[in-house]
Amino acid sequence: MAWRRIPRAAGAVAGAGAGGVQPYFAGRRALSVMSVACQLDQRKEMWSVRCVRGSRVDGQARKWGGVTRPQRRALSLEALSLDVGATLTGIVDGTEAALVGLQAQTQAPWPVAVLLTAGLVRTVVGAPAAWYQAHWSSRVELQRRRLMQWADAIGHQVMRRKASENLTDAEAENLIQEQVRAQQKVLMDEIGWRRWKLVLPALVQVPIFITVSLALRRLQDSDSLLFQQYQADLASQGPLWHSLPWTASLTEHDILLLPLVLGITNWFTLELSTIKRPVSPESREDRLGTALRYLAIAMIPVAAAVPSGLSLYWASSSVLTLTQNLMLRHPSVRQRVGLPAVPSELPRPLTSLRRHVLTGAQRFWQEVREKNFGNDAGSKSGNP
């Protein structure tokens, strides 16, 4: 592309009109996808043409074809981190102000305001996310039942081929698994299933949960301006209005009730998801369930180490999550909210959960006894 100097005369610019430099560059080839911006340099007798891509402009320039051209600025990780940090801080500040506004509008004690916050978040965000997850879980469960029927048919076909083609047991097993995986892909593609669709509800809820938790934690921090304003209310309004002698203030720690409620409800929620939905041992789902159970136990000391206002939000949110999951397993509730009927429905979800937990606890205790005391008990029982 040919470039030449442009005189400083005002008449050279007057013909540009509203388009700036369009008359001068009319009919000439553009610089690829780069936009051209012309800026008058008062210290020189020529125009300084600055070629930029988007909004990435750098003050440092280099000579190119007799014209000053700026160098492209590399992406600064430090600047990006500062921008992200400022954005996150603004979000937490807005959430903190919303919590204070909710308490001021309702004129409720702070424990009730925390419970209202948990209920509002679980209703506005948690309920649609739970329905979305239950919807796709039901569709996948129905397709898996069809896959089991296909697996039986595929097994019979492969056994006939094994007899006619003299296949080994390993070859027949590999052929069965290959055809079952292919049929599984076909069945899941019929409903538009993707693995990320089960993870999507968590990706939506977890950031909101963390944001509200950070806002509550900052509200109870002594360095917070809002804490200094509402310090008297926070310090004098404990959960259940002083009925718990070990928690007289939302700024203090509850090391007994709220952490146990949090851990137990999280555990029950995980156990509820496995009723009538068995998973194969050592599978990805089994390892994920084990990791989540350990996480539920680990949350107990974490909840005991934070102020009771924050642990109250965690415990109440966990209780509401368990309640929503119990309701979505009931056949009549599923029918009303438009979920398909599946074999994993529970006519009495709470009773089924209680029996499942007790059975699992007994089985766990029996395994512990057999592992640690089985030989001694057997030897003692064999003696007269």
- Looking at the fold, whether 282 and 341 belong to one and the same domain comes out as yes
Q: What integer pLDDT is reported at residue 131 of this predicted model? A: 93
In the predicted structure, residue 247 carries a pLDDT above the cut 70: no
- Looking at the fold, whether 28 and 118 belong to one and the same domain comes out as no
- Looking at the fold, whether 147 and 206 belong to one and the same domain comes out as yes
Q: What is the mean pLDDT of residues 310-316?
A: 92
**Non-local CB neighbours of 117 within 8 Å, separated by 6+ positions:** 99, 102, 212, 216, 313
Q: 276, 359, 277, 260: which is closest to 319 by C-alpha?
A: 260
- Looking at the fold, whether 63 and 128 belong to one and the same domain comes out as no
Radius of gyration of the chain (CA): 33
Q: What integer pLDDT is reported at residue 109 of this predicted model? A: 80
Q: What integer pLDDT is reported at residue 337 of this predicted model? A: 92
Residue 2 lies in a domain: no
Confidence at 238, pLDDT banded by 50, 70, 90: low
In the predicted structure, residue 105 carries a pLDDT above the cut 60: yes
Structure tokens at 167: 């296949």
Quote the DSSP letter at residue 62.
E
201/126 Cα distance (integer angstroms):
8
Quote the DSSP letter at residue 124.
I
Q: What integer pLDDT is reported at residue 169 of this predicted model? A: 82
Q: What integer pLDDT is reported at residue 291 of this predicted model? A: 85
Residue 370 lies in a domain: no
- Looking at the fold, whether 20 and 94 belong to one and the same domain comes out as no
Q: Which residue has the higher pLDDT, 99 or 62?
A: 99
Q: Which residue has the higher pLDDT, 291 or 21?
A: 291
Confidence at 383, pLDDT banded by 50, 70, 90: very low
- Looking at the fold, whether 117 and 149 belong to one and the same domain comes out as yes
Q: Which residue has the higher pLDDT, 11 or 274?
A: 274
Q: Tell me what the pLDDT averaged over the chain comes to.
A: 74
Q: What integer pLDDT is reported at residue 35 of this predicted model? A: 38
CA dihedral 73, 79, 83, 85 (to 10 degrees): 160
- Looking at the fold, whether 39 and 92 belong to one and the same domain comes out as no
Determine what percent of the chain is predicted with pLDDT higher than 70.
66
Residue 223 lies in a domain: yes
Distances (CA, A) of 63 to 45, 297, 310: 16, 64, 60
Which of 45, 70, 95 is at the close of a domain?
70
Q: What integer pLDDT is reported at residue 223 of this predicted model? A: 58
Q: What integer pLDDT is reported at residue 230 of this predicted model? A: 57
Q: Which residue has the higher pLDDT, 58 or 196?
A: 196
Confidence at 325, pLDDT banded by 50, 70, 90: very high
Residue 99 lies in a domain: yes
Cβ atoms 274, 289 nearer than 8 A: yes
The enclosing H or E element of 308 equals helix 308-327
- Looking at the fold, whether 35 and 97 belong to one and the same domain comes out as no
Tens digit of each residue's pLDDT (9 = 90 or more) over 19-65 = 444 443 344 444 333 333 343 344 333 434 444 333 344 444 444 44
- Looking at the fold, whether 286 and 214 belong to one and the same domain comes out as yes
Q: What integer pLDDT is reported at residue 211 of this predicted model? A: 93
Q: What is the mean pLDDT of residues 115-130?
A: 92
3-state SS assignment for residue 253: strand
Q: What integer pLDDT is reported at residue 120 of this predicted model? A: 94
Cβ atoms 310, 220 nearer than 8 A: yes
Tally of domains in the chain? 2
Residue 369 lies in a domain: no
Backbone φ, ψ for residue 181 (5° rounding): -65, -40
Q: What integer pLDDT is reported at residue 231 of this predicted model? A: 57
Q: What is the mean pLDDT of residues 262-267?
A: 93
Cβ atoms 304, 255 nearer than 8 A: yes
Residue 62 lies in a domain: yes
Q: What is the mean pLDDT of residues 332-349?
A: 90
- Looking at the fold, whether 202 and 283 belong to one and the same domain comes out as yes
Tens digit of each residue's pLDDT (9 = 90 or more) over 133-176 = 899 988 988 888 888 888 888 888 888 888 888 878 888 888 88
Q: What is the mean pLDDT of residues 94-123?
A: 88
Q: 63, 70, 71, 65: which is closest to 3 by C-alpha?
A: 65
- Looking at the fold, whether 102 and 197 belong to one and the same domain comes out as yes
Q: What integer pLDDT is reported at residue 222 of this predicted model? A: 54
In the predicted structure, residue 10 carries a pLDDT above the cut 80: no
Residue 383 lies in a domain: no
Question: Domain containing 191: what range?
Answer: 85-227+244-361
Q: What integer pLDDT is reported at residue 366 of this predicted model? A: 84
Q: What integer pLDDT is reported at residue 374 of this predicted model? A: 63
Residue 232 lies in a domain: no
Q: What integer pLDDT is reported at residue 44 of this predicted model? A: 39
In the predicted structure, residue 327 carries a pLDDT above the cut 90: yes
Q: What is the mean pLDDT of residues 237-242?
A: 51
- Looking at the fold, whether 90 and 65 belong to one and the same domain comes out as no
Least confident of 14-28, 95-109, 135-149, 231-245: 14-28
